Structure 1
């Protein structure tokens, strides 16, 4: 059993040799199945110029996914404030909240959303990477403009460090912590967030959503097979080679890891909830309790939508009543 509410971070991937458009029907099916199963919310991330991640703007994806579902909350995880004019973000998410009242989350993050320096410069119109002061001003501006609208999305601040956690606390925002990216920072960041939290119009109390890399399959071996392609991509990032195209499981299985590479992956492997339903449920429950989360968000980096759907179905089957919305259809 998993005693915390469960949500989904959908980062749609596509295998080398296929197109981004081919992944769209699978992502739609996943959102609809997540709603049927009773997951709390589904979020979409902002990416640019990736060889294996959809580069569709979160607001565009959200508009479609909210239209093909009826009750699950739909949000950005996140939309990256330095890449956008605050007024534009406020208008986009205000419009979404008006079309789908009570269902829209505005998850705001900082990173560029790309490993491509040319894309990052184009997004910023040649300006350098945003510093702490500019980012803080952008977030404050978005919140101020959003707050003036009649229909208001629920804002969250994304964080992967103690600095991000402190900013979420200062603003009185719910915090979504990227445990799947920086698990080593989670304990200190959550502690700082709770210690420094200031109640605001957005939240009376601190709220922590923890995103955990999760791959659930019928057997341990199958879960490991599904995880291997993204491990190969991660090795490219850790070794400085940048993003690589995503291999399918069969091609990835032929790629042997050296002892040094296995050591490089060890930190992420320990933090990942991987294996059978029972193993994943136990890992998620223990992680949520240890870090002090109020909600868990499952990040399943598997290119095949059918496998991602089966993953969330297996987890829903062992999650328990408190994890899922009882009103799900």
Structure 2
């Protein structure tokens, strides 16, 4: 069993043959089902100019889901500081926290949210990429403005997203809980978390190191079905290995017909070995092992599969097998 809270990351994949509005409809149903299943939180990622991922602002999806669900925590995972003025982030998420007390998270990240340079520059209104110091100032300013100028009541819970030791160092310096992107940079996870714990400074936001680890999770009744469902995302990953970021999210059938090179197969196998793909017993074992290795306080699952029903079934299976059933009569 898994003793840790489980949460979810929504990346809003736009499937081949569907429209963005269909994906938006699915995100609503997804939030409601995750709430009913008892997941702790659901975060929305910021992406731009991608044929495979919807360009839906996390603050908008958070607001809609909060109005559509009774209990699950909601927020950004993450909203990207270089693309937004700190005062706007503070006002937006401060307002959400006032409207939905003790349910709103503000996960802040650094990346541009796009592989397209012209889109990245447009988001920054023509400015150059953010430096380390500018990013630090943006995060610190957002936190200060939440308290000094926005505080309408309950505040959102801030998290710093990281995929490197540099991000972990900033989270430690500012005394923030860290959400580590093991699903993006698994080779960096242990060193970054060691640094975070060793250099953590308590703050008003967090008294002790607090770690959430995000892991790619595809769970199905059989190993073969899990491999089949993971196929479309593997096509996307193989494209990224070759510098191709404009590949639409293929159907399962299209992905099954795709032929990977030997180098791609090797890279995908190495990555998959550090994630949680397979039948329930294997997935639970991998999640349990990851939690033990990282000392995580919480696991966040990201499940980039083609159909909503398959995605929900993955989360259902994990929940069913992660919790030890209560013996009759106890």
TM-score of the two chains, using structure 1 as the length reference: 0.96
Question: How is 1:98-117 mapped onto 2 (pairs within 5 angstroms)?
Answer: 98-117=98-117
Q: Secondary structure of 2:51's match? A: coil
CA distance in 2, matches of 1:293, 1:140: 25
CA distance in 2, matches of 1:92, 1:17: 33
Q: Deviations over 1:119-156 (max 9, x none)?
A: 10100011111010100010000000012313310000
Q: 2:73 touches 2:103 (CA, 8 Å); kept in 1? A: yes
| Match in the other structure for 1:223 | 226
Residue of structure 2 aligned with 1:253, choices 253, 256, 263: 256
Deviates more, 1:210-219 or 1:240-249: 240-249
Q: CA deviation at 1:258?
A: 2.0
| Match in the other structure for 1:4 | 4
Q: CA deviation at 1:161?
A: 0.3
Q: 2:90 touches 2:145 (CA, 8 Å); kept in 1? A: yes
Q: Deviations over 1:270-329 (max 9, x none)?
A: 11201111110110000111112110000001131111111110011011169xxxxxxx
Highest relative contact order (Cα 8 Å, sep 6+), 1 or 2?
1
Asked if 1:244 corresponds to 2:247, the answer is: yes
Q: CA RMSD in A?
A: 1.1
CA distance in 2, matches of 1:42, 1:189: 24
CA distance in 2, matches of 1:258, 1:81: 37
Asked if 1:44 corresponds to 2:47, the answer is: no
Q: Secondary structure of 1:107's match? A: strand
Q: 1:44 touches 1:78 (CA, 8 Å); kept in 2? A: yes
CA distance in 1, matches of 2:241, 2:291: 26
**Superposed structure 1 runs of 4+ greater than 3 Å apart:** none
Asked if 1:165 corresponds to 2:168, the answer is: yes
Q: Secondary structure of 1:51's match? A: coil
Q: Secondary structure of 1:78's match? A: strand
CA distance in 2, matches of 1:144, 1:267: 41
Q: 1:12 touches 1:303 (CA, 8 Å); kept in 2? A: no
Q: 2:252 touches 2:306 (CA, 8 Å); kept in 1? A: no
Asked if 1:188 corresponds to 2:188, the answer is: no
Q: Secondary structure of 1:318's match? A: helix
| Match in the other structure for 2:303 | 300
